[in-house]
Structure 1
Amino acid sequence: MNLFLRSETKAQRFEDCYPQGNGIIGIMDNCGAISNSIVLNDEGMWSGNKTTKTPKKCGKEGLEEIRDALNKKDFSRAEELVKEKISGRECESYIPVGELTIDKGWGSYRKYERVLDLETSVLSSSYVLADKEYKEESFVSNPSNVFVKKITCSQKSLFRIRFLSTHPTTIQYKEKLLTVIGRAPSHIVYYGLPSKKPIQYDKDEPGQAFALAIRIDTDASQIYHSSGTLRIADATYMTIYYSSMTEIGLSNTESLKTLTNNIVNATSNKSIETELIDRVSKNVDMAYEKGYLGCLKEHIDDYTRLFSRTSFQINQVTKSPSNLNFALKKRDQDDSLIVTLYAFSRYLLISSSRENSALPANLQGIWSRARRPMWSSGYTMNINLQMNYWPVMSANLSECALPFFKFVKNLMYSGMKNSKEIFEMNGFFLGHNSDSSFHSSPVGGETKYSSASYSLSMATSGWLVNQMFDIYSFSKDQELLEQSILPVAEQAILFYLDYLYENEKGELCSGPDISPENSYLFNGNKYSIDEAPAMTLAVIRELFENYLEYGKDNNLLKIVKETRGKIQGYRVCEDGRIAEWSSDLKEADINHRHLSHLYGLYPGKEILENGDLKRASLKTLEARGDGGTGWSLAWKICLYARLGLGDKANELLKKQFRPTYAKRGQRGGSYFSLLSAHPPFQIDGNFGTLAGINEILLQALSEKGINAIPSDWKSGKVTGLRTRENKHVDIEWRDGEIINTKIKNL
């Protein structure tokens, strides 16, 4: 075992747990010696019911009124009108199923360690408690869709297992099988909004149903059950087989079809509750029949099929630090930390997004403890969802991209409906937030205190489609292009063709719009709404270019070709930086975490073809500073890497290892699990950093050659990296020279 996370203490915080998952079930086990606290997540566990959130109806007249205010530079009025006519309800929240505790005794313990083996995706811990030697081992199997945990003890012991949940549940137990059926909240008020009753359970319009089952295998002499608590007496071993499922998991399809409260489908007479219980019970029973070793082998075979495709080392370092906590505090093993973070981020992608996942990885992957999580632990689509999937192809994990494609396709259906209702336009558009119900309309309308900088995000649909095109550029999968990408791209284009309008210079603009989450200063006040933010126009230009390259030869292609050249281009300010807005407006925060106006450099590619814009991009990037949240640092790593500035990218990469203690803030770093910190925990920082390291390595194949590699990386090797044009590449370098490159066509 070379790649692992190891600690000699239990996890003190939720974020310090070593996450486990199979793309559906998420587990956070603190591995306590006296008592385990295991947070149970399921990718489909979201608040919300089937009540339709009716969007506002701005219409074309309302749009003209807003644009007239923008033209007159009456930005205050423009923002008032956007809130009045466009901004709507917030999204629902991703929440835990509950918590499982396992009590094993009391008193002091010694010889403690916990280890997550990144090469097998198996978590283990060992310790001596009350002179008894304990060993624990667990994993989450994708093929069987079960969490399996085995505890062995050198002497007969008493275990107490409790299932805890804040949701209304019904618990039953019979013959070593515990089953739970419950309902998620019908609505959770967005965490930033005041409410006397933020978590709501409506009996008439209930939230979705969920179920879980726990099958026990043990040599215990007796098992006692009372109100969801199991007491397992005189046991030397105990194995737990756990499975969960929600209505979303039950209806894992590519359409917007939803289940009713009473039936699963047209051919089934079972209630949803009965169907869910049957499914999870079958999962744990089948796992029990396979046995612990059978499930373990099946799990390792499945996981290593993906994980083993790629390897990475620098300065002949191939092994993780022996104690992760010490390594993060002392910072004397940075090469080892970089190699480990690379492996861990690939592990997280495999664990949170699989080909059979119903939904893509959200802000926290599939791991969340809060009942009312920050930003709903949802899908923020002005950078964060996209960043989750930046590395999926270069990291050679194409299967993990499939939930992203399904999600965008479903967003298209929802967005087509809203573009008609809100703007009376064709195609589809999206706001910047979404959830499990494919929410597509802009948020920010539920309180007068909501910032306009979080409302509109007219680039969203185009950005998501461009990412689909980028994934295609790696695989060259023609079926994927024709069935999953082009139909969505065409609907995005139809909306932009309706929405874009000419300014006084005859240039096409995208207002009202924002540069995500940033604000500018005008006459001493802060505003966000603009007529032509640089990012949105860059996204649309790239979308049109992608369609011109890959689209069908039809009338739409001709219109796109005619329109492409009319879209307003980049502007460079007097100080040499790329302008973020349509005029020389000063940003309210020059060090803002978003780098939206550099979209065309990364993840886009338009700026790479223009030397003047590359120089302006570098000046813009330098002015933004070297601080930021975990995901912002990751974006900067990617940007510097694409410019071939490996040393600067590496400098920012090392900042990702700053230990995080704060609950909130703008100073990125890592928890003692290597999970990325905004703070709070956001998984996009892990995935963006993985993409950045891969970008450094891929730039070594360009004309920059070895100069793209950080000078601190005196030697190194990467195998199994995937490049565009459907190729695998191995790269090896030493002492300032690339000594071996192998490129294989797939």
Structure 2
Amino acid sequence: MSPSTTLSRSCPAERWLEALPLGNGRIGVMAWGDPHRARFSLNDSTLWSGSPQSTQRWRTSAEEATRLRERTRELFLAGEITAAQDLLEQLGTAWSQAYQPVGELVVTREGPGSSVPPAPDGDYERLLDLAQAEHVVRAPGGEHLTLVSAADEVLVHSAPCPPGTRVGLELTSPLVEEQRSEDEQGLSVVLRAPSDAPPPRHHARGELAWDEEGASRVAVVVRTRVEGERLLLACAIVTTWQGLGKQPDRPVAEALAEATEQAEGALARGEQELRRRHRETPLPGADAVGLELRGSAEAELLSTMFAYGRYLLAASSRAGLPPANLQGIWNEKVLAPWGSNYTVNINLEMNHWAAGVAHLPGAAAALEGFVGMLRESGRETARRLYGADGWTMHHNSDPWGYTDPVRGLPKFATWPMGGLWLERELDSIAAFSGEEPTEIAARRLPALREVAAFALDLLHEGPGGTLVSFPSTSPENEWITAEGETVALSESTGMDRWLLREVFESLIAKAELLGRGDDAMVRRAADALERIPGPRIGADGRLLEWHLDGVGEIEPTHRHVSHLGVEYPGGQHLPPEVSAAVVTSMEARGDEATGWSIAWKTSLWARLHRPDKVQDLLELFLRPAETADGERSGLYPNLFSAHPPFQIDGNIGIVAAIAECLVQSHRGEIELLPAPAPILADGTVHGLRARPGIELDLSWHDGRPTAVRLRAVGPGAVGTHRVRCGEHQLLVELPDEHPVELDASALGGNPPGPAHRSNLQGVQG
């Protein structure tokens, strides 16, 4: 096992944030690692409260929405912004649903060996092998193995079981238990999720509901047997899920029968066969990319965090199923923080920034399927709430297709740009695929036309012949009016403008590539693009976040940096003065932030070629989250990222941030090591991707390349490419999909350092 792909602990977990995660893209398990009382916290990515119909009765009507929009615009233009915002809040009257836990499975053993005292220091170790997706406990009496098989769709656990041992099973759950049967082979349980789970702030309108109608069920079937002197357990979890956006009303008997067949079929295969099948069916892209950093314990930990983030995304996202939510697929609470659902003003997108550059095709496919479902429900929302064509969505969503604003303050709720950001994200992922540009354009053009149609209907005449978006906010942030009132409502915030411009530019470019530049929607977008201002710089040198310059700020160091998205993850070519304004904005925002915000800021500083600031942010990211004074951003004992509390976007977002320090390709060239912070000064990476689909193997020492290899992963990446490192550059021809070795010295490379020479000598010897 490589240290960079292994999490090692010297004692069992005593709480959920010490347990270690396993997943197969659907089933999620937190393994606690007690050799005497094995405990597993169970999840399934398809188990959510409610259904597509849960909150329909609360949603704002088209007639009411028209009245609210028109009056809100009148008040805003009259300078009565607080009154306009208070009125606009009524546009969101419902809520999205919450991701649910399945329960806790405990396996006990009584008899010979069960009374062995706790292992002394040095006699116990538990490991999470990220490369193999296996949890191993080594303790007196033998080895314990746990995995979640994608091949067999079950949790597998094996442990020492001397003759005479009695095995006990316990399954507890915060859900409603509807059926249970137990015998000497195992147990079968059917549980019911809540039929509606309003967030706590909505309890004036609705409490957590447990009605039988409109609720998901989950069947959990556990089977055990003894092979020689080893216990083998198979646990299957099957829900009444029928698909994204569909009622979860599959017959319970079918789900229970499928779970029984899976558990018993897996058990019949035996431990070795199950392990072999598990290893031969890795999650898509799981072993495609690897990073090893050298030079310090912190560098090695950062290598682990890179591998861990890729592992967590692969393990919590599968094509056709819900993509990774706020906690991946690992949640212990019926009402988790923020419902453990989808926050679309940053967190869902950040969860997938690494899908292209760090090649996780399963996650990319999961996001694409999810967005496809949102387009369908978002069309009705666009028509009803905005009288608009195309589709839209707002701040929160769930697998049932929720796209309305949620009931709450406009600063987070009334943000109709979610569709544009998600389509931009799918564009970005596609750019790493190696497909022919015309193939990408043909696939993406219909979706871009549709989301552009909504955007065009959101635009109003603005000052000086410009077009402005309204209603508009800068997600979750607020500003202070000249009258001293705190508000969020604006028009054409900095975030809106970069999303509008980037989506319109992508639409126009793809249409022209396909010879469809005369398409009516494309012409409308091109005309609008001429009238939508680009990034604006304020008198203080910062990039403008709001529609006015010089406004007061309620929280100058706010965690969201939405208006700076034009720099990252945006792909536009920015003039130097705009990037300088981003720097000034970042300096004013400060370093301290939530876990996911630190990941975003790291990516921004990398894009800005500032290794010194990358170092500062990575040090914050790697620190312990728990202190004597309370919690802060950082890492929990199991290396989950803290908002706080736990949110997985920090874990996954840091993968994209590290990749941005090693390779950038948004400017039409491949730039190596643009932000080699001291913690990143020495290392090797393989399989990282650059646009338009070029696989990169790179070794470096003191921030300079020592070996470089490129490979086109598809016909769209074949051809001549400019490769640059600092002031040095090469034109590289990739004639086909075979790898090409580059002359590292021509890119300013150093000869290998002592560690590199040692490795090379070992290979030659």
Aligned residue in 1 for 2:196: 187
State the Cα distance separating 1:140 from its structure 2 match.
0.5
Q: Deviations over 1:549-569 (max 9, x none)?
A: 113512211111111111133
| Residue 581 (1) aligns with residue 590 (2) | no
Whether the aligned pair in 2 keeps the contact of 1:67 and 1:531 (CA below 8 Å) is no
Amino acid at match of 1:545: E
Amino acid at match of 1:542: E
Give me the whole-angstrom Cα distance separating, in 2, the residues matched to 1:524 and 1:304: 53
State the Cα distance separating 1:191 from its structure 2 match.
3.2
Aligned residue in 1 for 2:211: 202
CA distance change for structure 1 residues 529 and 215 in 2, over 3 Å: closer, same or farther?
same
Aligned residue in 2 for 1:376: 339
State the Cα distance separating 1:291 from its structure 2 match.
1.8
State the Cα distance separating 1:704 from its structure 2 match.
6.4
State the Cα distance separating 1:51 from its structure 2 match.
3.7
State the Cα distance separating 1:37 from its structure 2 match.
2.8
Whether the aligned pair in 2 keeps the contact of 1:191 and 1:375 (CA below 8 Å) is no
Amino acid at match of 1:353: S
Partner SS, residue 70 of structure 1:
helix
Whether the aligned pair in 2 keeps the contact of 1:731 and 1:742 (CA below 8 Å) is yes
Mapping of residues 503-652 of structure 1, within 5 Å: 503-522=462-481, 523-551=483-511, 553=516, 554-584=519-549, 585-606=551-572, 608-652=573-617
Partner SS, residue 388 of structure 2:
coil
Aligned residue in 2 for 1:230: none
CA distance change for structure 1 residues 705 and 722 in 2, over 3 Å: closer, same or farther?
closer
Give me the whole-angstrom Cα distance separating, in 1, the residues matched to 2:583 and 2:98: 38
Aligned residue in 2 for 1:93: 98
Which stretch has the larger CA shift, 31-40 or 517-526?
31-40
Q: Deviations over 1:286-324 (max 9, x none)?
A: 212322211111111222773322221223x6xxxxxxx
| Residue 731 (1) aligns with residue 698 (2) | yes
Give me the whole-angstrom Cα distance separating, in 2, the residues matched to 1:300 and 1:705: 33
TM-score (norm 1): 0.88
Partner SS, residue 674 of structure 1:
coil
Amino acid at match of 1:591: T
Partner SS, residue 104 of structure 2:
strand
Give me the whole-angstrom Cα distance separating, in 2, the residues matched to 1:45 and 1:404: 18
Aligned residue in 2 for 1:14: 16
| Residue 679 (1) aligns with residue 644 (2) | yes
Superposed CA RMSD: 2.3
Q: Deviations over 1:402-432 (max 9, x none)?
A: 1100100100110101111112221111111
Of 254, 261, 275 in structure 2, the residue corresponding to residue 275 of structure 1 is: 254
Whether the aligned pair in 1 keeps the contact of 2:54 and 2:214 (CA below 8 Å) is no
Mapping of residues 37-52 of structure 1, within 5 Å: 37-49=39-51, 50-51=53-54
Aligned residue in 2 for 1:741: 708
State the Cα distance separating 1:36 from its structure 2 match.
2.8
Mapping of residues 303-702 of structure 1, within 5 Å: 303=282, 306-315=285-294, 333-355=297-319, 357-444=320-407, 450-477=408-435, 481=440, 485-522=444-481, 523-551=483-511, 553=516, 554-584=519-549, 585-606=551-572, 608-661=573-626, 667-699=632-664
Whether the aligned pair in 2 keeps the contact of 1:101 and 1:162 (CA below 8 Å) is yes
CA distance change for structure 1 residues 454 and 736 in 2, over 3 Å: closer, same or farther?
closer
Give me the whole-angstrom Cα distance separating, in 1, the residues matched to 2:273 and 2:40: 23
Aligned residue in 2 for 1:120: 132
Partner SS, residue 633 of structure 1:
helix
Aligned residue in 2 for 1:149: 157
Whether the aligned pair in 1 keeps the contact of 2:318 and 2:363 (CA below 8 Å) is yes
Amino acid at match of 2:644: P
Give me the whole-angstrom Cα distance separating, in 1, the residues matched to 2:439 and 2:146: 36
Whether the aligned pair in 2 keeps the contact of 1:135 and 1:153 (CA below 8 Å) is no
Whether the aligned pair in 2 keeps the contact of 1:416 and 1:427 (CA below 8 Å) is yes
Amino acid at match of 2:372: K
Q: Deviations over 1:681-720 (max 9, x none)?
A: 1000011100000011104996865553124444221111
CA distance change for structure 1 residues 638 and 209 in 2, over 3 Å: closer, same or farther?
same
Aligned residue in 2 for 1:172: 181
Give me the whole-angstrom Cα distance separating, in 1, the residues matched to 2:499 and 2:188: 48
Whether the aligned pair in 2 keeps the contact of 1:10 and 1:31 (CA below 8 Å) is yes
Structure 2 unaligned spans of 5+: 714-765
| Residue 243 (1) aligns with residue 236 (2) | yes
Structure 1 unaligned spans of 5+: 220-234, 265-271, 318-331, 445-449
CA distance change for structure 1 residues 154 and 658 in 2, over 3 Å: closer, same or farther?
farther
Partner SS, residue 140 of structure 1:
strand
Amino acid at match of 2:100: I
Give me the whole-angstrom Cα distance separating, in 1, the residues matched to 2:630 and 2:576: 36
Aligned residue in 1 for 2:761: none
Give me the whole-angstrom Cα distance separating, in 1, the residues matched to 2:225 and 2:448: 51
Give me the whole-angstrom Cα distance separating, in 2, the residues matched to 1:304 and 1:407: 19
Of 272, 277, 281 in structure 2, the residue corresponding to residue 298 of structure 1 is: 277
Give me the whole-angstrom Cα distance separating, in 1, the residues matched to 2:252 and 2:627: 41
Give me the whole-angstrom Cα distance separating, in 2, the residues matched to 1:730 and 1:163: 47
Partner SS, residue 27 of structure 1:
strand
CA distance change for structure 1 residues 456 and 617 in 2, over 3 Å: closer, same or farther?
same
State the Cα distance separating 1:134 from its structure 2 match.
4.3
Which stretch has the larger CA shift, 410-419 or 274-283?
274-283
CA distance change for structure 1 residues 75 and 197 in 2, over 3 Å: closer, same or farther?
closer
Give me the whole-angstrom Cα distance separating, in 1, the residues matched to 2:71 and 2:399: 33
Give me the whole-angstrom Cα distance separating, in 2, the residues matched to 1:275 and 1:124: 33
Amino acid at match of 2:243: N
Whether the aligned pair in 2 keeps the contact of 1:644 and 1:708 (CA below 8 Å) is yes
Give me the whole-angstrom Cα distance separating, in 2, the residues matched to 1:39 and 1:5: 18
Whether the aligned pair in 2 keeps the contact of 1:664 and 1:680 (CA below 8 Å) is no
State the Cα distance separating 1:107 from its structure 2 match.
7.3
Partner SS, residue 210 of structure 1:
strand
CA distance change for structure 1 residues 677 and 152 in 2, over 3 Å: closer, same or farther?
same
Of 52, 56, 62 in structure 1, the residue corresponding to residue 60 of structure 2 is: 56
Whether the aligned pair in 1 keeps the contact of 2:567 and 2:574 (CA below 8 Å) is no
Whether the aligned pair in 2 keeps the contact of 1:627 and 1:667 (CA below 8 Å) is no
State the Cα distance separating 1:91 from its structure 2 match.
1.1
Give me the whole-angstrom Cα distance separating, in 2, the residues matched to 1:705 and 1:277: 53
Give me the whole-angstrom Cα distance separating, in 2, the residues matched to 1:53 and 1:134: 54
Greater RCO, 1 or 2 (C-alpha within 8 Å, sep 6+):
1
Partner SS, residue 199 of structure 1:
coil
Give me the whole-angstrom Cα distance separating, in 2, the residues matched to 1:31 and 1:192: 36
CA distance change for structure 1 residues 483 and 179 in 2, over 3 Å: closer, same or farther?
farther
Give me the whole-angstrom Cα distance separating, in 2, the residues matched to 1:96 and 1:304: 22
Give me the whole-angstrom Cα distance separating, in 2, the residues matched to 1:314 and 1:426: 49
Q: Deviations over 1:173-200 (max 9, x none)?
A: 3561422222211011203444698431
Partner SS, residue 188 of structure 1:
coil
Aligned residue in 1 for 2:758: none
Give me the whole-angstrom Cα distance separating, in 2, the residues matched to 1:660 and 1:566: 46
State the Cα distance separating 1:728 from its structure 2 match.
0.5
Give me the whole-angstrom Cα distance separating, in 1, the residues matched to 2:474 and 2:54: 31
Of 63, 76, 86 in structure 2, the residue corresponding to residue 80 of structure 1 is: 86
Aligned residues: 689
Whether the aligned pair in 2 keeps the contact of 1:720 and 1:730 (CA below 8 Å) is yes
State the Cα distance separating 1:622 from its structure 2 match.
1.0
